[in-house]
Amino acid sequence: MHDNAELALQISEAGRIISSITMMQPRRSTAAPGAGSAQGVGGGAVAQAAARRKRNKKKQEEQKEEQEKKKQQDEEKKKKQRGKFKEQKKEDGEQKDKEDEDEDQQVKKVRTADDEVLDTAKSILDKLPPYLDKNEAVPGVLPVIQGLGGELIDQDAQGEQEETAETKKIPPSSLSIVLSQEMARFNKLMTVIRTSLDEVERAIGGLVVMSQAIEDVYDAILISKVPNQWADAAYPSLKPLGAWVADLIERILFFRQWLTQGMPSSFWFSGFFFPQGFLTAVLQTYARKYKLPIDTLRFKYQALKDKKDTIQTAPPDGVYIYGLFMEAASWDDRSMKMSESRPGEMYAVMPVLHFLPQKDYQPPPTMYAAPLYKTGA
């Protein structure tokens, strides 16, 4: 074959191959809907993909709108709740402000210095017990004088009188004399308290002049301190006014029970006005019983496991006492010995002690001698 003919054949074959390849490639359709038969296979796949994308996009937009709508509803709900909370808070605040205002007005009415002193004075007078009256005494607890006919005459009621042909003195019990003296001291203290409080009330009311003594009582009550006028007539104590008054009432109650119920089985040692006199009376009682010189007697101390409320009878000799405290130490009820102080406990209660007089008693060297203070704290 001629060279030109062969070249023309190759060009023809190449064109045919290129035409076949071109027919197989996908083409962009510009035809109207319904012309699918003219698009070919590639054009149909492109249309389906576009439709899917459109549907997906529409679905995403619908989901987004639904989420926005739900979010908006939640915001509105929260706003309503916040509004209700604010309204409730506002109402509570207004109510609290009103209560505070009423309380402040009430406080302003009652918290003047005069009113505070008057209220305290009235409270003390209301709590203060009546005087210790010897007419309430049971037989045998106070010193008496016996008449020739056998009748008993109250020595305190008759006053200090000498023995005559018509009367003779019964040797009084040492402890009964202590009771009589303690009654006199507490009655005198209550008189001082009642008189001074009455003067303070009258001075505040403008009925009497506010003297220096009345003003001292006024100032002391205002700061919850025991007035010097009372402290001078009382026993040593470091308590503030409220605790001091409560302690005084308990002391008077103890002596009233002694007066009206007879000799107690155990004695509140720290409740005495003059505890040294009580100890001397115990020694005198023992000395008279055994006919011993009182200056040869000394106390032997023994701790008891029994509590004061469980003791029903007094000892045959000596006395049981309670009401003592230990500082920087404690008492071990199991070993019945002193021990280290417990954590956080400044004062520990001492057990009931038996004060037993003994002739020429010398404590063993193993006993610990500790000082005893009578100032109430």
Q: What is the pLDDT of residues 326-356, one digit of tens each?
A: 988 999 999 998 899 999 888 899 999 999 9
Global pTM exceeds 0.85: no
195 inside domain: yes
Q: Kindly indicate the confidence band of residue 125, based on its pLDDT and cuts at 50, 70 and 90.
A: very high
> Has residue 288 been placed in a domain?
yes
Does 316 map to a domain? yes
Instruction: Say if residue 215 is in the same domain as residue 321.
Output: no
My answer on whether 287 and 345 are in the same domain is yes
- Residues 185 and 257 occupy one common structural domain: yes
**Domain check: are 238 and 271 in the same one?**
no
3-state secondary structure labels for all residues of the chain? CCHHHHHHHHHHHHHHHHHHHHHHCCCCCCCCCCCHHHHCHHHHHHHHHHHHHHHHHHHHHHHHHHHHHHHHHHHHHHHHHHHHHHHHHHHHHHHHHHHHHHHHHHHHHHCCHHHHHHHHHHHHHHHCCCCCCHHHCCCCCCCEEEECCCCEEEHHHHCCCCCCCCEEECCCCHHHHHHHHHHHHHHHHHHHHHHHHHHHHHHHCCCCCCCHHHHHHHHHHHCCCCCHHHHHCCCCECCCHHHHHHHHHHHHHHHHHHHHHCCCCCEEHHHCCCHHHHHHHHHHHHHHHHCCCHHHEEEEEEECCCCHHHCCCCCCCCEEEECCEEECCEEECCCCEEECCCCCCCEEECCCEEEEEEECCCCCCCCCCCCCCCCEC
Tell me the CATH number at 245.
Answer: 1.20.1270
Q: Are residues 132 and 245 in the same domain?
A: yes
Q: How many domains are contained in the chain?
A: 2
Q: For 263-308, what is each residue's pLDDT tens digit?
A: 999 999 999 999 999 999 999 999 999 999 999 999 999 999 999 8
Q: Which domain holds residue 294?
A: 267-366
- Indicate if 121 and 235 belong to the same structural domain: yes
pLDDT over 60 (residue 247): yes
Residues 125 and 244 in one domain: yes
Q: Is 47 within a domain? A: no
Which of 109-123, 196-210, 268-282 has the weakest average pLDDT? 109-123
Domain endpoint, select from 263, 290, 309: 263
Residues 319, 351 within the same domain = yes
Residues 121 and 250 in one domain: yes
Does a structural domain hold residue 197? yes
> Which pLDDT score, from 0 to 100, does residue 8 have?
74
